[in-house]
Amino acid sequence: MTRIDIIARDDMNAEQASVYDASKEAGNPLGGPFSAYIRIPDLFQTSQDMRNSLGAGPLSGRERQIVFLVVSRHWNARYPWFAQSRNGLKIGLDREIIDAINARQEPELGDERERICFAVASELQSTCKLSESSYAAAEAVMGETDLVALVAATGQFVMTCCTANAFDVDPPEDQPVPLLA
């Protein structure tokens, strides 16, 4: 059960309501970890801005989804896994890719950039850094700017997973790909 109360829109103070309404109007997510962030409206807005900045950045939707799936799987973050597996299916990631990541296996990825996204996110989660060889390979494939976006997306999603786990944010019952134990 979620440890933190969901603040109803009618119970929000003016600042909370303002950032909530703006995010809702923009079509940004409001649930999950954002249910915690709304308590600090600047944090809520900054996290939305970071999400939108990375979403408009150089990584493709598929590349970001692979990163988010790797991070949420590493953290065993149930709500983020629910949201990202659903989003992955929605944008056309094959179920086999999602299932492989869920089983902590390397998925069959035909695209070199997607393989690098998987490798970098996985190595950052498992070792908290990139080896010289991994960095060189990632920079050669992604280029410096896209590698910065890849590392930032990985780190930003760690915060999402950490928040969801700390507050035990529950996913809905109708999960398309339940997180394996």
- Assign domain 61-166 to its CATH superfamily: AhpD-like (1.20.1290.10)
Q: In which residue ranges of the chain is CATH 1.20.1290.10 found?
A: 61-166
Tally of residues, the chain: 181
* pLDDT at position 1: 62
Q: Could you tell me the CA-to-CA distances from 17 to 67, 159, 167 in Å, in that order?
A: 31, 23, 21
Contacting residues for 98 by C-beta, under 8 A, at least 6 apart: 69, 85, 88, 89, 107, 177
The share of the chain scoring above pLDDT 90, in percent, equals 87
Q: Is 58 exposed, middle or buried (0-12, 13-18, 19+ CB in 10 A)?
A: middle
pTM of structure = 0.93
Identify the band that residue 167 occupies on the pLDDT scale cut at 50, 70 and 90.
very high
Q: What is the pLDDT of residues 43-100, one digit of tens each?
A: 999 999 999 999 999 999 999 999 999 999 999 999 999 999 999 999 999 999 999 9
